[in-house]
Structure formats: structure tokens, C-alpha cells
């Protein structure tokens, strides 16, 4: 659908916002309708058909739910409108805005926004709407990827987020320990985006030294430094039109952060040794193994850069919090390596399954993958036994005077479970939720520790 032919409804109780958006869009779209009172939504929808609705998250109306935006989003759906809804939110309400994606919103924009960003959000939403009307449905289950699998509650939440955010151009920050599959999630977002037929460029920022940072990312001109034998485009230019995935972004210096922020703000790169800027059009995905709390330390990371890269965040849980996925992943990897090494696909005996369930996998999915490769190579028959499973000595190495890792963590885990259950007066559902476990996984631990 063309922006020029679209009808837009803006609902916000801030007159300044309504005026600003109306002035911005009046020459860009067919018609702009503004409304201060969300209680008039039903009447407006009965009189006219809208292509996109811009809906504020917070109102001072007679409806006071604490999250009025979600309330009115549901009402719009109940009224039978097929308009796409873009939520307008403040940065502090981003978690609520992400929840709105689950409730059926198409996208959200964060106040204050850049005008071109708002227009691009509307354009992207109309593109998705156009594809839906052409029977290319983006609401069906997305093709997440052959290796990004799971059936735990945590992974199902991630799959839902990918489905909702992939068609947008929102910047994504993926948080998680090493080996949890952040790379696969970034690729899945790209594969399910409107840029899927464009380049996906990955950059491991942790591997870039200070001296080559600018050259690798922004490119260089011939002769701009020793060894620059020819003009070369950087990763930003290589990703133009597609997705740029900056892995380990938490490792870059403050000086590098300033340079990166400038490019992201201006959407232009200047090659080393050149005075000419090149416009870029990318979808940005970043990842780090640092907790968000550490990134928020301004001695380590600029807050304005965090805001820039973190429109939506995806937190990937460690494998030890995904009990329901361990055996599923193990069988998946066993199948892959049995085919690779021309061996029969193995069957797991009960002791092998129990051994995997009790192990904490400090190296996460990556460690499980290598464990299964070794097991398939070394196994003698069609059955994998507990003795075939040799966990990584790299991950489990300890100082000589340290108590075994399993005992340390087991005691810590048992005490934590006891405290959380006591806190919730024995309510297993609430305790499991706080611990980040399913009820089934918590019951297994209760049995394991004789609680």
C-alpha cells in the first residue's frame, strides 16, 4: 500500500503531539485524523476506514488501567478494525510496548522520535499490510531456522518476539551468555524481515582492534594508511538495504562508541581518508554477553548509544534454565552428526538422559553441540550411554582448592529454591515464575533435592 493513498488516525491526549504529527503527515498521506479522547475510537471507526492508527500508550481518561494503550489496542481489535496499530511510547514504557506487539500491535515508536523514523515506521507497516492483503501472511508461524529450536516457555516467548518484531525496522539488542544462540536469533530476525532478500552482514566487534575498527566498519580510501592498497567499502556499506549484526558490542571502547553513535544518528558513513559521506539504509541488530545493568554503567558504555541500539531487547536464557529443551537439542545434534559421520542415528538410554538433565551446561547450547558431536564419534553402537557423554573440561575446570562446581552450584540452587518457595508461601507456580523455570522443571528439582 502506498503512503500517499493511506488514511491515518492519531490518538493522543497531548495536543502538541497531535499538531506535530498532523503537520508532518498532511503532505505525505491522503488524510490525517486526530483525536484527543480515546473513548471516541469506536465512533471514529464506525464512520471511516483507517489504514494505520497511531495510538498513545498513556492517557488521563476515565479508563485507568495503568496501561491504557493496551486497553484501547484490544478495543480496536474488538471493534473489528483491520487498521494496523503503531503504539507511541516513552522510553520507560518499552517493556509495555513490547507486550503490545504480543497483543497485536504492528510496531511502536519511542518519544521523542525523529520525523523520518516515524514516517519509515508507517511505511514499513503499510508494506506489511500490503503483503498480508496479497495473501503473503506474516502472521503465520515464521520460518525460524533449522537450528534455532526449542519448546520451553522461554523459547516460545522468543519465537513470538521474532515473529512480531522481524517485519519492523526496530533496532534489536540481544542479551545472553556465550553459547546461547544469539547469532541464530539475529539471523532468524533477518530471514523473517522485509529485508530477507538483502545482505546479512555480521561483525564480531570483539575481534576488531582500535587500529582497524573504522576501516572495517566504515571503509577506507586507497593510500589512507599503510597497507590500504585500494578503495574498500566497510561493513555498513556492505549491509546497505539489509541487516547489520554487531556481535559483542559490549567490548568496544568509549571512543569507538562515539564513532558508532555518530554513524547511527546520521545514517551516513565516511570512509577513512575521504571527505565524502555515503548514505546507508540498514536494520541494526546488536548482541552482547554483558548484562544490561553493566552496559548501563556510563564509565563503560554510553547511555545514548544504548537507547539507539535498544528499541527492543531479547534476553536469551542460559540452557540451564531451559530444561525442556536439553533433550530436544541433544537429539537434534545427534541426528546432524550421525548423518555427517555416516553413523546410525543413536538412541539415548535413560541414564544418558538423566546425566544431561542434571548437568548445568556452563557453555550452554554450544557446549551441548560439541558434547553430542564427540558422543556420536566415540559411540560403539546405536545406543548412547552415560559413559559416552563427556562434558567439556574447558567449561568445568576449577582451581585445585575449589569445591567441585556441581556441589557449589547444587547447594546454591537448593538454597535459592527453598527461599523463593518460602517467599511465596509454598505457591509453586509463583516460585517457578520468579526462578525462571517451568512448573515441571521446578518439580524435578524438588525431587532431586528431596525438598
Over residues 68-84, the pLDDT tens digits come to 888 888 888 888 788 89
Query: Is the pLDDT score of 60 beyond 80?
Result: no
Are 154 and 436 in contact, with CB atoms under 8 Å apart? Answer: yes
Q: What does the DSSP assignment read for 212-235?
A: THHHHHHEE-TTSSTT--S-EE-H
How would CATH label the architecture of 405-448?
Answer: Orthogonal Bundle (1.10)
Q: Give the C-alpha separation, 323 to 320, whole Å.
A: 6
Note if the pTM is more than 0.75. Answer: no
Domains 3-133 and 153-315 share a fold: yes
Each residue's pLDDT tens digit, 182-204: 999 999 999 999 999 999 999 99
CATH number belonging to domain 319-396: 1.10.8.60
153-315 placed in CATH 2.40.50.1020: no
User: Looking at residues 153-179, what average pLDDT do you find?
Assistant: 90
Is residue 399 pLDDT above 50, yes or no? no
| Residue range 3-133, CATH number | 3.40.50.2300
CA distance 19 to 201: 40
Domain ranges of the chain: 3-133, 153-315, 319-396, 405-448
Amino acid at each position: 500500500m502506498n503512503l500517499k493513498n493511506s488514511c491515518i488516525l492519531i490518538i493522543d491526549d497531548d495536543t502538541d503531539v497531535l499538531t506535530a504529527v498532523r503537520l508532518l503527515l498532511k503532505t505525505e498521506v491522503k488524510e490525517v485524523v486526530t483525536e484527543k479522547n480515546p473513548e471516541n475510537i469506536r465512533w471514529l471507526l464506525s464512520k471511516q476506514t483507517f489504514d494505520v492508527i497511531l495510538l498513545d500508550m498513556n492517557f488521563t481518561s476515565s479508563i485507568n488501567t495503568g496501561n491504557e494503550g493496551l486497553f484501547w489496542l484490544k478495543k480496536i481489535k474488538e471493534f473489528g478494525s483491520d487498521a494496523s496499530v503503531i503504539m507511541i511510547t516513552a522510553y520507560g514504557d518499552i517493556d509495555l510496548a513490547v507486550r503490545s506487539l504480543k497483543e497485536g500491535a504492528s510496531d511502536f515508536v519511542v518519544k521523542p522520535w525523529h520525523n523520518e523514523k516515524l514516517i519509515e515506521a508507517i511505511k514499513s507497516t503499510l508494506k506489511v499490510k500490503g503483503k498480508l492483503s496479497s495473501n503473503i501472511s506474516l502472521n503465520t508461524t515464521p520460518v525460524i531456522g533449522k537450528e534455532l529450536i526449542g519448546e520451553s516457555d522461554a523459547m516460545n516467548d522468543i519465537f513470538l518476539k521474532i515473529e512480531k518484531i522481524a517485519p519492523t525496522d526496530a533496532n534489536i539488542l540481544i542479551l545472553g551468555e556465550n553459547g546461547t544462540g544469539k547469532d541464530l536469533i539475529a539471523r532468524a530476525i533477518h530471514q523473517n524481515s522485509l529485508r530477507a532478500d538483502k545482505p546479512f552482514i555480521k561483525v564480531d566487534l570483539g575481534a576488531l582492534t582500535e587500529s582497524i575498527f573504522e576501516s572495517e566498519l566504515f571503509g577506507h580510501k586507497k593510500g589512507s594508511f599503510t597497507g590500504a592498497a585500494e578503495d574498500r567499502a566497510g561493513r555498513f556499506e556492505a549491509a546497505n538495504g539489509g541487516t547489520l549484526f554487531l556481535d559483542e558490542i559490549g567490548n568496544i571502547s568509549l571512543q569507538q562508541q562515539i564513532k558508532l553513535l555518530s554513524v547511527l544518528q546520521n545514517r551516513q558513513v565516511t570512509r577513512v581518508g575521504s571527505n565524502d559521506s555515503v548514505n546507508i539504509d540498514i536494520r541494526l541488530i546488536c548482541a552482547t554477553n554483558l548484562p544490561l545493568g553493566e552496559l548501563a554503567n556510563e564509565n563503560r558504555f554510553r547511555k545514548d548509544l544504548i537507547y539507539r541500539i535498544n528499541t527492543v531487547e531479547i534476553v536469551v536464557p542460559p540452557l540451564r534454565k531451559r530444561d525442556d529443551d536439553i533433550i530436544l537439542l541433544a537429539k537434534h545434534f545427534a541426528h546432524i552428526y550421525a548423518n555427517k559421520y555416516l553413523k546410525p542415528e543413536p538412541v539415548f538410554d535413560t541414564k544418558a538422559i538423566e546425566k544431561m538433565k542434571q548437568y548445568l551446561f556452563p557453555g550452554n547450547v554450544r557446549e551441548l553441540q560439541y558434547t553430542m558431536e564427540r558422543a556420536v564419534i566415540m559411540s560403539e553402537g546405536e545406543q548412547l550411554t552415560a559413559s559416552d557423554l563427556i562434558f567439556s573440561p574447558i567449561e568445568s575446570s576449577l582451581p585445585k582448592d575449589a569445591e567441585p562446581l556441581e556441589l557449589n552450584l547444587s547447594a546454591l540452587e537448593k538454597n535459592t529454591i527453598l527461599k523463593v518457595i518460602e517467599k511465596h508461601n509454598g505457591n509453586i507456580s509463583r516460585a517457578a515464575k520468579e526462578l525462571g523455570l517451568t512448573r515441571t522443571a521446578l518439580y524435578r528439582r524438588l525431587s532431586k533435592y528431596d525438598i
